[in-house]
Structure 1
C-alpha cells in the first residue's frame, strides 16, 4: 500500500527555523488529520464526507478543500483518480525578528507630494489581524474576516499585523506614522493566531476572500515550506489581476513560501546603509529589497513601536504597489496588453525597471532588482507613449459610413464640482483635503457607467488622476491631505473616454476647471 507521507504538527518557524513535532505526535488510523485536498477538476465535498472527513473550507480560488480526515481515509482518497494530491495543512508563522524605520528611503513622501497616495486601491493584509480601531488606520479600514476565530472581527491579538498595516497605509495626520500609501483602503484578514502561527488552509481562505472581494494587492509577511495548494492559490490570485507580495524570510538562508513562488514578489530586508540585513533570506527568487531594520509603525491599542524583519520590508513594497496602481497607465507603452489598467505583470516590470540598484550590477540574490523606488515608479509615465502600429487609412465619401462601424455617440459632463473637508488634530492643526465630483451623461442626459475620467489637481496639490464612473455616471477624486493649508484646491477634467462615445466638452455648459478655497486656520 502506498501511503501519502504526512508529517503532523510540522510547525514552520518562518523566519528562524523549522520545528518538527516529536514522533509521539503521529496519529493512529482513526485520529483525524488536517489536510489540503487538491482536485484535478471540480471539488467533490461529498466524496470527502463519505470518507469520514470534516470539511473546514471549500475554495473558489483553487479547486481544493481543507478538511480533517482519518489516516486510513487519506490512504484511500490518495488513490482516487479525481484527486491530484493530498498534503498536510501546514503551519506558517509571521515573519518578524525584533523591531523597524521609515518610508523616506523608498521616496514615498515625494511621491505623495505629486498627488499619488493610493486613493481607491484596496490592500488585503493577511496576517495576525489588524487593530482597525487604531487612529492611524481606522479611516482606511474596509472590512475583513477572522479565519482563526471564524468571525467578522479580524482584531489583532499579536501586534504583527497592525505594524505591517501602518507601514502600508498609516494615514497622513499629526500623530504616529505616515504610511507609504496613506489613502489606500485595506482589508484585514486574520490567518495567524496570537502566537504568530497560521495554518495553510487559513492563509488560502484569506487569499480566496481577498480575490472575491476585489483586492488589488495582497501582502503576506508570513510563510513556511512549499505547498502545491498554496502555490495554486497565489497563481490564481495573480491571474485574476491581484498583485501578490510576500516576505522572503529571516533565516539568513533560502527564501520561504509563498514568497518563493513565481507569481509572488519576494522582498528582502535592508538596513539604513542599504545593506542586506544579516538575517534576511536570499536567493534568485528575491525580486525587490526594502527597509526592514528598526521600522517604527502602528501597534495595537493606539500605540507605536519598532520591529525588524522581512515582514517590515514587505509592506514598503506593498505600499509602493498601491501608489503605482493609483496612476494612469493607459496610453503608455507600459500598458502591455492595452487594456487601460495596470496588470500584475506590468506592475512588476515597472518596479523592476525603476528600482535603485544597490547590490551587484543588475539583478542579484540579495537585493533582486534593487531597492524599491516609489518616485521613480510613478514619474514620467506621460513620457512612455504607446507604440502604435502604422495603419493605412482610407477616407470614405462624406455620405458613406465605414463598413461595419457603429455610429459614434457623444457624451459630456452634466456636473462638475469640488468641495473641501477637514479634521482637527491636537486642537491646533487642520488637515484639509478636496473631493472633486464629475457626472458623465449621453446626449439625452442618461448617465454613462464605465467612462474613464482623467483630470489634474493643481493649486495646493498636484498630480494626474483617473477613475471610472459608477452606475450613476458619477466619479469622485480625493486629493492628498495637507496640514494647515491656505489657498485653493483646483481640479481640471482633461479627458473622458468610453468605447462607442466621443467626449464633447463644449456641451458641458461650464468650464472644465473648478476650484474651492480653503482658509480655515487655528491659532
Structure 2
C-alpha cells in the first residue's frame, strides 16, 4: 500500500517558519503540520496530544517526539519552557545518478584474503529497504523494519538500498558480486518510500531501531539539505552508544548535506576510477573520507546486477571497511584510547583517517577529506578479534595449565555432542498487498509471515526458512528469522490477478536445532485476491 503526500503552503508567524510544508490528514477540519519536538528534559507525548497532536514517534534514545500539529498548537508549544525546539519534519531522498572495481580499489579483497571479512559485525542499512531474497544478499540478512509504511517487511520497492547493501555485504558465494565485508550481517531499515523520498522523523526512528537492535555500523546513503536538531541528536546518541555512523556527503556538487554534515557522522565523498573527485560530489570541511562512487556494479532488485553512481555508492565502501576494521583486536594498541579492548567510534575514525590514501591536496582537504579509504592499511598490524572474548583486561592469553604431566599418553574421553534443540513453525500467515500504477493496473503480491519457536516457546533467531509459493505464482523463497524469530517472505508481483497465493514451508534449518514439523501449527496458508 502506498502513502500519498499532499503539499501545501503554510506561513507561520511564530519562532520559525516553513516555506513549503507537507500536509497530512485533516482532523476536525484543521490541517496539521508534520513536526519534530525536542524537549529540554523528558519527552512529553501527552502534552503534544493535549494540543491536538497526532504522535507519530516517541523516541527512546533522544528526548523528542515526532507528530502532526495544528499551526496554533505549534505556536503555543513554542512558548512552553520545557520545549527546546520545534522544527519541520523535513524530507530527504536517496542520492544516485543512475549511472565493483571499488572493492579492489580500497583493497578490500586483499583484506579478506588476510582473514578479515566482517564476520559477526552487524550493519544497519537505512535506506529504501533491501531485496533480502536476492541470492547474493539472503545469507547475510538479519531482519529489519519498514518505517515508511510502519510494518515488519523492509522489502525494497525502489532499488537503491539493495544496491547499497550489495556493496557492503554481497556474499562470498562464487557468483554475482563480492561485497567489501561479505560475511557481515545487515539489517534492512526502510525509511524511504517507493519514490525514494523519506522524512527526517523516519530516519531518526530508523537510527533508534538500529541502536536498540545492536547494530555496530549505521550506513545512510540518504540525506537532505535541511539542518535538524532532532536528527543531529539521533546520530549523536547512536555515536555515544558505540555505533559508527557513515553517510553520503551528497551529489549537489556543493555543500555537504545532512546527516553527513553532523560531527558524529563520517561524511563520504565519491571518486572515479582514476581517484579523481566526481564533479557532482559535495564538498566542505565535513568530508572525512573518499571512496569509489562512479560506475559501481552491485545487486539490484529481483536477483539481478547493475551499475549506479553517487556518493550513495561511495558510502557503503566505507561502511564495509569499518566492518572489516571491527573484525580486528584493538586491545593493547595505541588506538585503544580508553583501554577497554573494544573499538569505539572515535577510535575507528582515527584509524581510518591515519591509514587513508592521501589524494588531492596534501593532508586533509574539503574534497577528499583525509583521503581514499584503505581497508588493508586499516587492518594492517592488527590480529583477528577472537569472537566472544570478554576478558576484562583485553588480554587474549590462554589461562595457565596447572595440571601435572605424569607421562601418561591416555587420551581424554570424547565429549558427548550437545543435544539439539527442537524448533517448529509456531505461526504462518499469508496476506496480500497491492500498488496502483497508472490509472487501472494493480500489481499484487503476497507476504508470508513465518514465526519459528523452540519447544519452550522462545523465538529462534537466525533460522533459515525455505518454502514454496504456488497458485498465482510458482517460486521458492528463503530467508533468515530476526531476533523475534520472525521472517517475512514475499512472492513476485502479479498484474491485475484473480486467484490465490499459497505459501508452504518446506524446511527450517539452524545449527544446534532440530526442525520437528509434527509440532507445526500450520505448514501452509493462502490468501485470495
**TM-score normalised by L of structure 1:** 0.72
1:152 matched to which residue of 2? 152
Of residues 7, 18, 26 in structure 1, which corresponds to 2:18? 7
**Residues 354/469 of structure 1: CA separation in 2 closer, same or farther (3 Å cut):** closer
Where structure 1 has 5 or more consecutive residues not aligned to the other structure, the ranges are 12-20, 383-463, 471-494, 512-523
1:504 matched to which residue of 2? 400
Native 8 Å contact 1:119 1:184 kept in 2: yes
d(CA) in 1 for partners of 2:37 and 2:323?
33
Q: 1:187: Cα distance to partner?
A: 0.6
d(CA) in 1 for partners of 2:355 and 2:394?
31
**Residues 5/510 of structure 1: CA separation in 2 closer, same or farther (3 Å cut):** farther
1:274-316 CA-partner distances (Å, limit 9, x unpaired): 0000000001110000000000000011111100000000000
Native 8 Å contact 1:143 1:187 kept in 2: yes
**Residues 130/507 of structure 1: CA separation in 2 closer, same or farther (3 Å cut):** farther
2:284 matched to which residue of 1? 283
**TM-score normalised by L of structure 2:** 0.71
**Residues 510/371 of structure 1: CA separation in 2 closer, same or farther (3 Å cut):** farther
Residue 310 in structure 1 maps to residue 311 in structure 2: yes
Task: After TM superposition, list the pairs within 5 Å mapping 1:395-434 onto structure 2.
Answer: none
1:330 matched to which residue of 2? 331
d(CA) in 2 for partners of 1:278 and 1:55?
42
SS at match of 2:37: strand
Aligned length: 393
Task: After TM superposition, list the pairs within 5 Å mapping 1:169-188 onto structure 2.
Answer: 169-188=169-188
1:33 matched to which residue of 2? 33
**Residues 45/100 of structure 1: CA separation in 2 closer, same or farther (3 Å cut):** same
Native 8 Å contact 2:340 2:393 kept in 1: no
d(CA) in 1 for partners of 2:17 and 2:104?
46
Task: After TM superposition, list the pairs within 5 Å mapping 1:72-87 onto structure 2.
Answer: 72-87=72-87
d(CA) in 2 for partners of 1:371 and 1:277?
13
Q: 1:61: Cα distance to partner?
A: 1.6
SS at match of 1:289: strand
Native 8 Å contact 2:341 2:394 kept in 1: no
d(CA) in 2 for partners of 1:109 and 1:505?
39
Native 8 Å contact 1:497 1:503 kept in 2: no
Q: 1:346: Cα distance to partner?
A: 0.2
2:420 matched to which residue of 1? none
Q: 1:98: Cα distance to partner?
A: 1.8
**Residues 220/496 of structure 1: CA separation in 2 closer, same or farther (3 Å cut):** closer
Q: CA RMSD in A?
A: 2.6
Q: 1:144: Cα distance to partner?
A: 0.5
1:86-145 CA-partner distances (Å, limit 9, x unpaired): 001010001111227430000000000011000010000000000011110111111110
1:405 matched to which residue of 2? none
1:363 matched to which residue of 2? 364
**Residues 58/8 of structure 1: CA separation in 2 closer, same or farther (3 Å cut):** farther
d(CA) in 2 for partners of 1:502 and 1:176?
41
Task: After TM superposition, list the pairs within 5 Å mapping 1:127-166 onto structure 2.
Answer: 127-166=127-166
Native 8 Å contact 2:246 2:319 kept in 1: yes
**Residues 498/507 of structure 1: CA separation in 2 closer, same or farther (3 Å cut):** farther
1:476 matched to which residue of 2? none
Native 8 Å contact 1:147 1:189 kept in 2: yes
Residue 320 in structure 1 maps to residue 321 in structure 2: yes
2:199 matched to which residue of 1? 199
Q: 1:5: Cα distance to partner?
A: 2.8
